[in-house]
A and B are shown apart, each in its own frame.
Chain A
Amino acid sequence: MRIFKLIYKNALRHKLRTALTVLGMAIAVMAFGVLRTVVDMYYAGIDATAVNRLITRQAVSYIFTLPYSYRDQIAKVPGVETVSFANWFGGTYIDKKNFFARMGVDAETIFDVYPEYVLPPKEYETFKSERNACVVGSELAKQYRFKIGDIISMDGDIYPGPWSFVVRGIYYPRDKVTDATQMFFHWQYIDERMKQDMPGRTGQVGWYIIKIKDPSQAAAISEQVDALFKNSSNETKTETERAFTQGFINGFSSLLNAMNAVSFIIIGIIMLVLGNTMIMSARERTREYAVLKTLGFSGGHLFGLIFGESMLISAFGAVAGLLITYPFVAGIEAKMPKGFFPYFFITPQTVILAGAAALTIGVLASIFPLQRALRMKIVDGLRFIG
């Protein structure tokens, strides 16, 4: 028999209590993992950004548009390789809950500035040649069962009226973090309709995407672009794609901070639960610890027994928690409309953080029982009636 066996047997001495503690820890670890995953996914867009892309938007807010005429001026700035643009379309596909990103883009350049969207060349050629063609991401196609040749009908809101698009391509994500839940179509298709229905809204794009040759020149190029439109009625703000995405996410900072706080509060609560279990166990075993000391077991041995038991329970909880987190997150992903998050998975950092949190709980929960057992005088322990 080894000390580990005694630790194991002690941990299972009160099977129901240990099971409930492990279950509590598992649920807490799962809740922590899910919350962290949601927070991670909010920030995931930042990871998907490229260092050689700049975003130019209206200086006041990205909800305002910019003139299409800016395109040629931006293209002349030294260091700029390609200028593309996009426009948020909005609209409703069958039902409002069917949310995904729909954007009017420059078909000629969009796949050049976003090489992570991989579109078969033949489909790309067809897409470029038909005005009402659209391209959808593979995840989106999977969710709504879109196939090449399908017609997607929408009710416009920002751009009112009925709209129809023919699926001419399905792009695939190059990287795991690439968003494959978007729908692209020709900006010109929208603009031409606007010329007929609302002439005052023609020639406007949502934002420019600038591919630059040298990422180290990003700041200088941004300044030069913004300088072009200084004191105009549509001043611009140019920044790296990372900064742009970060700024977008900052709009949700209160929510994200609250979720972060809750995830750590959960850890705190479960620490108290495990701490309580360990204190109860240590209190019940006061006399046994005294007997072990009497037999010659040292403080180190008692430390091993109590600390080991705490760590064993927390490890069980962590493993069980992580095991249930994966199917839970997969279930959320399956239920969640595509496009709400570009992708949804548990990052290795979340696993490490949850594991580390569980182990920290194990360490902290053992402190008080350890202190009690190590300081206890043998004669007091032998007299103890639990």
Chain B
Amino acid sequence: MAQAIIQVQGVSKSYWRDSFEVPVLKDISIDVQDGEFLCLMGPSGSGKTTLLNLIAGIDRPGMGKILVGGTDIGSLSETALAKWRSQHVGFVFQFYNLLPVLTAFENVELPLLLTPLSKAERRKHVELALDVVGLSDRVHHYPKQLSGGQEQRVAIARAIVTDPTLLVADEPTGDLDKHSAEEIMILLERLNKEFKKTIVMVTHDPRAAEKATVTHHLDKGELS
């Protein structure tokens, strides 16, 4: 069996509220294989978003180790971790988190500004990403001129434009109507199956979870 692309090894995480330590994750170990579509489910406060953040390198574990593509991301400095994220992780958020002052094209182009690509190359990548999500005709639209589903598709185009190793999605359908949610899940499924993207997704939605190849349930910070 091939080595897992993500190895979560004995990870624990706590937050401090005033002087109280609140444990969020307790000794979690998960392996995610390359090309897998992992879904994390669980009730609110179960620690699934915290685990997603740790895997994506936007938070650090209190204990344990997380290896992504062989890199111990917990050992990287803030600067190195930021660079690592820009090269290896694409993010999809519940509320899309597009910059309202930028067009769809410019929002998708954002991560490419951190690469040495020329303007022409960036344009090519952006157009391709928007084509993949089916928004080639919305290139110059601002977020407020798009529907929720379209905004999320722009966010997905932004997440894939750098061709990252890993896509992380935190409740990607949480703010969408049923139809738009279905479209987004079909798109994520296509990215996983057709483009072989490894995806880690957090969701409450059982219908969304059906698209995943593996599902883990978290409850009170533990895998159940």
Contacts and interface: CB of A to CB of B under 8 A. Distances in A.
B126 to A, nearest CB: 10
B108 to A, nearest CB: 10
Contacts of B82: 293, 296-298
B99 A3 contact: no
B59 A378 contact: yes
Contacts of A379: 53, 58-59
Contacts of B100: 13
Q: SS class of chain B's interface: helix, strand, loop or mixed?
A: helix
A288 to B, nearest CB: 6
30 contacts: A1-B106, A1-B109, A1-B110, A1-B113, A2-B113, A5-B106, A6-B101, A9-B102, A288-B99, A291-B93, A291-B97, A293-B82, A294-B56, A295-B86, A295-B91, A295-B110, A295-B114, A296-B82, A296-B85, A297-B86, A297-B114, A298-B82, A377-B59, A378-B53, A378-B58, A378-B59, A379-B58, A382-B58, A382-B93, A382-B97
Interface string B88-113: 00010100010111100010011101
A298 B85 CA distance: 11
Given A6-B99, A295-B158, 20 more contacts: A1-B109, A5-B106, A6-B102, A13-B100, A291-B93, A291-B99, A294-B58, A294-B85, A295-B86, A295-B91, A295-B110, A296-B82, A296-B83, A296-B87, A298-B79, A378-B58, A379-B53, A379-B58, A382-B93, A382-B97
Contacts of B83: 296
A198 B158 CA distance: 96
A287 interface: yes
A255 B28 CA distance: 73
Nearest to B81: A296
Nearest to B91: A294
Interface in B29-88: 53, 56, 58-59, 79, 82-83, 85-87
Nearest to B115: A296
A296 B102 contact: no
A284 to B, nearest CB: 10
Contacts of A294: 56, 58, 85, 91
3 shortest interchain CB distances as A-B pairs: A296-B86, A9-B101, A378-B58
A52 interface: no
Contact of A288 (B59, B97, B106): B97
A350 interface: no
A6 B101 CA distance: 8
B202 to A, nearest CB: 13
A5 to B, nearest CB: 8
